[in-house]
Amino acid sequence: MSTGNTFLILSAFLASAVEMVEALTIVLASGLARGWKSSLAGLGAATVVLAVLVAALGPALTAIPLNALRLAVGALLLVFGLQWLRKAILRASGYKELHDEDAIFARELAEAQGAEHLERAGLDWYGFVLSFKGVLLEGLEVVFIVLTFGSAQGSIPLAAVGAAGALVLVAGVGIAVRAPLARVPENLMKFSVGVMLTTFGIFWSTEGAGAHWPGSDASLLGVLGFVIAVSVLLVRLLRRERMEAVPA
């Protein structure tokens, strides 16, 4: 397997896992507070909508000329990747609070328990909508990752393999423990995803503009090393700045 395909699967896996951990937290809160029937119905409905989107958009993207697609996807990934990376750097340096899945779960659970009961078609409507909305919103990001990564690299199925692996892992652990995955190093995963999105964004937008990387896909390793080095340097500089700003 080429370097590009390996990175593709790993990036799709990590990015999808982050979104699925957040979706799991919402589904668990909905199920525990409002009943599993409504929560799972919302999960199923959102999954159907996402599957339709993938089926509809996948062939359309593969019909676009590869260079034009890579330029557009690379630019989008740079926008999203730099946003993820900025937040991850701020968290790692202490300027932004770390993501706390337990706190999010507690808040969602409290809101779900306090909501009014309204039954439609034999389902608790609040529980259904809460689960549907959470899975759909987080799932849309997974769909975006799978379609953009896969189409730009020329293999949507490989990106789907990475996302499916994340789904099996997160869902399996979630079913086993029935609790939010607070011990998952989500902030480290988000840092990694931001690095990979930025790396692919630089790589594909450059290729889409007509340039050629030396060594082809192997150049991804060099771009990745550069992005990691700059990110780590920024974390250290911001940490030092924050410590110097604290009065003695």
| 182, pLDDT greater than 80 | no
* CA gap 117, 74 in Å, rounded: 46
Q: How many CB atoms lie within 10 A of CB 209?
A: 12
Using 50, 70 and 90 to split pLDDT, how confident is the model at 227?
A: very high
pLDDT at site 247: 61
Whole-prediction pTM:
0.71
Q: For 161-172, what is each residue's pLDDT tens digit?
A: 888 888 888 878
**In the predicted model, is pLDDT for residue 230 greater than 90?**
yes
Q: What mean pLDDT is reported for the chain? A: 81
Q: What average pLDDT does this structure show over 77-97?
A: 85
